[in-house]
Structure 1
Amino acid sequence: MSDDALPEPDRLDGAPHPRETAALFGQNAAEAQFLAAFNTGRLPHGWLLSGPKGIGKASFAWRAARFLLATPMVQDDGLFGAPPAPASLDIGDEHPVVPRLKALSEPGLCLIRRGPRPDGKALSDVIRVEEVRRLKSFFQMSAGGNGRRVVIVDCADEMNPNAANALLKELEEPPADAVLFLIAHRPSGLLPTIRSRCRVLRFQPLGADDLRAALQQAGFAPPPEMAGLAELAGGSVGTAARLLSQDGLGLYADLLRLLQGLPRLDRPLALQLADATAGKQGEDRFDLTLNLLDTALARLARRGASGIPSPEIVQDEDALLARLSPGPLAARGWADLAASLTQRARRGRAVNLDPAALTFDMFLELDRQAATLPAA
């Protein structure tokens, strides 16, 4: 299998790649910080873009790359003085840098991401050192265009130790006018020396309005329950898109309906939900069921521990959470169950146990837990 036949590891199925994203929503503060550094003339070489997955870090990196590669290095004073400092990262589609970046043919950019395995049949699970070593030849080439070079690492969390050490060497002595964007969903897992050589730019989860706009830009039709989707997705465009493509809101509502009957398990509904996870076609449904059950258990534990309602994902959810988790003792029981329940199911799936049986067994565990919880 050729490299071209493999999926892009940094592209969400059914959505445009971040390099094709025209606008960035909900991250004005991050953009303002970057522009302020640019306009002072003291732009750091390394930027660590941190925050939950799917909230726009990669879209920002590509947006900033377009801006840096299209903006002249030295402003010409001319007859009327220097032009005003840029107020946004917008670069028009007519600029020649834009189509080159979309085609991955821009000589001023190097993209570091997971490549193919040695046999070429699938993508590697990690960014290997060979990918990072490409930076050496990239930095040795004569700078074209406006003289800048931009590197995007998507994502830095996926580097293996050798790759991380190789990147650290480049960060220690970067060439002049080079800017590296490291996208990190879990920056605490990176080498402290890598973090110390980068300026951290933090990205925030999107609110419902920004999430709606981002989904529409990506070609998804936002549902009427936009506030619930934003809460369930944690403000992540990527997560929201996956939930929409797999009817995640509908499945979450079904799981709450199952919880509603506890401690008298609705067995027909439990069997129906479990059967949907069976076979090859049910693999995605199994993963989604586990993820949403994790979410429901976490919300149960949080409701009982704090006594504070969270924004509802579906109607009347808080009344159900308050009934099943009326206080700290009940919250501890749900938290203990959450710590092990879906992990056991994932381990069982890894050794090819029947996913439908694993799912139904989880529902039985929920029923047993509900029957033993203290009332307050």
Structure 2
Amino acid sequence: MSDLPQADRIAGLPHPCETEHLFGHDGACAQVLEAFNGDRMHHAWMLTGPKGIGKASLAYQIARFLLAADPPGDSLFGTPPPATSLAVPADHPVASRIRAGSEPGLCILRRPVDDKTGKLKTVIPVDTVRELRQFFSLSAGGNGRRVVIVDCIDDMNANAANALLKVLEEPPQEAILLLVTHQPGRILPTIRSRCRTLACAPLSPEDLQRAFAQALPGHAFDPGLIALAAGSVGQAAELALTGGAETYRAIVSLSQGLPQLDRSALLKLANSSGRANDGKLDQLLNLLDLFLARLARAGVSLPGQEAASGEAEVFARLCPGPAAARIWADAQLELSQRARQGKMANLDPSSLILDMGLKIEETASKILREKGLS
């Protein structure tokens, strides 16, 4: 694969096309196999589900299978037996070419690199979609099929989406489009209506650990990642590579002192946010938001697996019931808005975290005061 930035690759992890074993999506694979064996293969599939659960890896598995399978129709040796798996050996020529980015039957649409800045563009522009014209104009080789993977369609601007719609309205013969989306509700209804939906669910704890071991061999799996990653192996791997689980433990440890925060510990957490554009601030803000969301849910639902030691005790004390849950939910919304506004205004990251800490302290004081515990 190219050394240039890739919008469909998480830094430090193998590219989805390199995923050898797919975990947790047996149902989706079965739907594709049933359609293929029944000669009812739809020309466009929309792979939906949360980010990082393996939708892109599934798309590449489907693409490998379609490009490596026997040509459609009866062969000289009769009708081929029904396929029983989408798996293609890693040493198969199609699999090797896909890993090398040289498979002529596969076209990938993703956010391109800006030639001037060398950085990824923020959207998939219409010119990228128009490249499909050249792809489909070439003579089909191999078994005659051609596959397009869009990862992800959420990144398309309006003009690009309209250009893709034209392709979906008049798809070339033996062409299959695999559209990855994390937010299907934001996709044009005219696009959704021309696709068959392939819903992908978050991974179970067992599948999450197996997928994590494949993506990061040699890395120990932190049990807290089961709760923090919510079934997303991409999220679990990112947290593992960036110390996210340790940061979340620091947030829980700090919250144990509420309604009075340890000022030195809060300052240490704030100073860990780094610079506004180096990714550390985003991760810390996301983890604070996750902590508040889990705290609010604790007041209205049964406690789940702890993401950090002592978390359940903190939640039980700070969010004893539905009334407290509503207060924390409101605080989460307010702090989320503050964080977005602070980033847009280029506020000092540590000052932004300190301000959020004081708001959390204020909210905890209100709840515990009304409960008569402070």
TM-score interval w.r.t. the shorter chain?
Answer: over 0.9
Mapped to 2, the partners of 1:335 and 1:65 lie a distance apart of 42
Report if the CA contact (8 A) 1:208-1:230 is conserved. Answer: yes
Aligned to 2:87: 90
Paired residue total: 370
Mapped to 2, the partners of 1:104 and 1:224 lie a distance apart of 31
Match for residue 317 of structure 1 among 305, 311, 314: 311
Q: How does 1:17-28 map to 2 (within 5 A)?
A: 17-28=15-26
Deviation digits for residues 172-219 of structure 1, max 9, x if unmatched? 010111100000000110000100000000111112221111112112
Mapped to 2, the partners of 1:375 and 1:289 lie a distance apart of 30
Shift of 1:164: 0.2
Shift of 1:297: 0.5
Mapped to 1, the partners of 2:279 and 2:109 lie a distance apart of 28
User: Does 162-171 or 346-355 show the bigger shift?
Assistant: 346-355
Aligned to 2:337: 343
Report the secondary structure of 1:180's partner residue.
strand
Aligned to 2:302: 308
Aligned to 1:327: 321
Deviation digits for residues 43-82 of structure 1, max 9, x if unmatched? 0000000000010100011111010001012365666x53
Report the secondary structure of 1:201's partner residue.
strand
Mapped to 2, the partners of 1:31 and 1:71 lie a distance apart of 15
Shift of 1:121: 2.9
1:297 and 2:295 aligned: no
User: Does 46-55 or 137-146 show the bigger shift?
Assistant: 137-146
Report if the CA contact (8 A) 1:263-1:368 is conserved. Answer: yes
Mapped to 1, the partners of 2:11 and 2:254 lie a distance apart of 30
Aligned to 2:283: 288
Report if the CA contact (8 A) 1:205-1:236 is conserved. Answer: yes
TM-score, L = length of structure 1: 0.94
* Unaligned stretches of 5+ residues in structure 1: none
Deviation digits for residues 90-114 of structure 1, max 9, x if unmatched? 1112321112111211111111111
Report if the CA contact (8 A) 2:46-2:179 is conserved. Answer: yes
Report if the CA contact (8 A) 1:342-1:362 is conserved. Answer: no
Report the secondary structure of 2:371's partner residue.
coil
TM-score, L = length of structure 2: 0.94
Report the secondary structure of 1:122's partner residue.
coil
Shift of 1:123: 1.4
Mapped to 1, the partners of 2:286 and 2:111 lie a distance apart of 25
Match for residue 148 of structure 1 among 145, 149, 153: 145
- Aligned AA for 2:283? L
Match for residue 227 of structure 2 among 227, 231, 241: 231
Runs of 4+ with >2 A deviation: 3-6, 74-79, 81-84, 116-121, 219-226, 282-285, 349-352
Aligned to 1:258: 254
Report the secondary structure of 1:179's partner residue.
strand
Report the secondary structure of 2:57's partner residue.
helix
Report if the CA contact (8 A) 2:49-2:201 is conserved. Answer: yes
Report the secondary structure of 2:89's partner residue.
coil
Aligned to 2:54: 56
Match for residue 184 of structure 1 among 156, 172, 181: 181
Aligned to 2:133: 136
